[in-house]
Chains A and B, each alone.
Chain A
Amino acid sequence: MSGRFRWPWRSRPMIAAQVDEELDFHLTMRIAELEREGVAPALARQRAIDEFGDLEATRRSCRHDDQSSERARQWRDRLQDLVSDLHHVRRAAARSPGLATVAAATLAVAVAAAATVFALVDGVLFKSLPYREAERLVAVFQHESRKDAVERPSPANFLDWRERTTQADLAAAEPFGFDLLGSDTPIALGASLVSGGYFSVLGVEPLIGRDFAPEEFEPGKNRVVILSYSTWRRRFGGRPAIVGQTIQLDRTGYHVVGVLPPQIDYPDRSDLYAPKVFGPEERTWRNRTYYRVIGRLRPGATLGTLGDDLGRISRQLATEYPATNRNVSTRVIPVAEDVAGRVRPGLLLLLGAVGLATVVACLNVAGLLLTRAAYRRQEFAVRAALGAGRSRLVRLAAVEGAALAVIAGVVGYGLALLATRLTISLAPPDLPRLDNIAPDGRVVAVLAGLVLVTAMICTVAPAWLMATIDDTEVFRARGERGGRGALRTGRGLVVVEVALAVALLAAAGLLGKSFIRLVDRDLGYQTEGRMLATVHVWDRYPGPEHVSQFVDRVTAELAVTPGVRSTAVANALPLSAEGSEMDPPFLIEGQPVPPTGEEPTARVTIVSPGYFSTLGIPLRHGRILAATDHSRSPLVTVVNEEMARRHWPNENPIGRALLQLRRNGPPVRREIIGVVGDVRFGGHGDEVLPEYYVPLPQWYFASLTFVISGVEGDVTADAIQRAFTRADPSVVVSNFESLNGLLRQSLATRRFILSTTLAFAVLSVIVAGIGIYGLMTFLVTARSRELGIRLALGSDGRRLVGLIARQGLGLAALGAAGGIAGVVLARPLLATQVFGVPPTDFQILGVVVFGALAIGVGASLIPAMRAGRADPVEVLRRES
């Protein structure tokens, strides 16, 4: 095919024989010459040999040289073949540019999508954490069976676990806040107060400086801090000299002893760390759950042995402290799962979606190449008959596939680089460890594997087809150029494609429908134009009355701030907090007392009078809290409808009372004065829970969140901070956000997964449509002779269109049925992401199936009409 004559390749024995022949020729000629000169024939031979020199060495040297020239020639020939193959492929691509473009583009997009999603999932799920032996690092939670809630551990429980367990070293961190002074405005920093040995349990060594010393966990010696890397860079300019200096936190001098390496954000992102000194009172708290507890398995221990050991300790504690620990057990979770667990099902779904889309794309390209190969069957048979080696033909197909894969791989990798960057900017902020996302070496390795597999699929099919060609059969069956086997395979591929696309589209549809269902659910409060500002008043205001006075001053200042309509305050606001950390158990006055440890609890929110009107929570019965409910007036509460339903079914709760249980002293009686509407505290995904509200002056809480109703954009963080500064110059707003923004964030992961899945689903459907179109075009072309005869014999063109379109419809229907079966099989995975919609929702499945059928007909309509419009004379002339 190179167009030039070429010697066949020589084997070793052939080379040896040729060298022998050449040398033999020389000796023969020389002997004859010597004889002509008069040398006796008997002597002539010996003389010629003597004269020649070292005959054997020459033989060896010549053979050796010839073998290496032969090898060089073979490589040259192969390269030439490859070049000519590539030319051939280029010419073939130029003949049908549409097909080549569709195939390369389909693969490139599939590769890009796969690489991007893999980078995302790899970064979030699989990449090792920046901690020494992260696989031995665990998180420990406590489980409260009454609430069926996994909670943060309480200080007393943590201390007992740490003392009693033999399987792991445990450490705890308490979330805390500091105001960093020293610049014009104080800066609010998030801090963690950590127990002894925290960093060695975490498996992190300070980048600069040292870890806390054991004596620094004693009272009075704990004025030391370790900075996070980002705080060090941002607040202290990354100066190593900061270690050893003193910084002002809450007007107290703290000695900086170290700086952590970057990306240490487990269990919580923290700006700085200080030693935790457990006070005598705190050591007894068992029902205040606010610690993060981590553990490092000791040598020989496993997740299982630690779980058993902590289980044993929990049972001991349940006997020792039945009032608080009766229903408390422990949960041990590997750190990687804790970090990624929340988003894991969603990401796996995404991985599944992109996997399916990629498979659809590969099947499609294989189908396109296969049908075209069948179409070119006769061409190949002619080539074979003219002497093109069968292996050469197969290799040609392989080169074609490889070229396709290389183009798709390179273009796809480029696209993946762009897409990864785009994904990082679009991804929801609550996806953990996003900084790790980049298509790195391992991602590229997976990509290369993908491209290779694709190349295999695309080349093996046509190569296999070539190998089954029977020349004579091909020439005899001239009219039906399509091999029946190839056709069957092509049909099968299209059906599988449609099935996968349908399954994917159905999954996306279910996600979409459940998303709509979800956001349709009433939150119970308004988010539009509502903003929140959080301040910590810790030790500035020692009692509830002082806090109330501060709140009054701030409220007055905010009232005159432009754009502000109304203001209220609470200890925690919906969407912004995990909830109150101290929900005491209570009894219902006048109802039977449940056994100790089984008293009900409910979320308590401490609110100012304007809370309900500012958030738009409706009053159902009674009255709401008022300014007259102050610290010296009778203790009152407002409950939500769910609480009223649960504890006073078929009764009016107004005038009834709860008895809040306290550790020391008699229960606190609170009279119910009103019932308000239910709220979904954490956003649309949350269920309604029993809740009650108590007036701010009647309960002390040191962290206040102000909710401001006003005009977003007019009310700025600066304006709010100025209002607070006028009320108390030392108070810092640590967080200012809009509830609408928080609501969007709470939905961001779902929205991200939904839109990405939908995008892949649509992509797959389009690809499957192209597949049907390609197959039908091939069918029509392959059967053009038969169709021409039918037309010539008076067949109606419209009937032919129907015939072809029905075939497309049939393929789509078969595929759709397969897809539905797939959805039914994938129900367990879907159920984790689908909300309020059964995974086999008939409406969605119906729409998807209808869509698939429509695409089946649509994709076959263009080739069908072409067949119907064909001029029979023209068709038959072309064919004969």
Chain B
Amino acid sequence: MKNRLKVLRAERNWSQADLADRLDVSRQSVNAIETGKYDPSLPLAFKIARIFEMTIEQVFTDEAEAA
């Protein structure tokens, strides 16, 4: 699943570890989500959206839909 996590994180000057702490996940999870190797659970996707004060659709793009 495509997402804007890396850009949103950079805009706030947060490291992967900073965001991982805020989300209560491993640092590797943030990297894996950013590189499209790991799809977050629905609760985690909501948590990510909330932290950036956005909707899930503003953070994540369904590739099937985008294609």
Partners in one complex: no
Where the two chains meet, the residues of A that have a C-beta atom closer than 8 Å to any C-beta of B are none
Where the two chains meet, the residues of B that have a C-beta atom closer than 8 Å to any C-beta of A are none
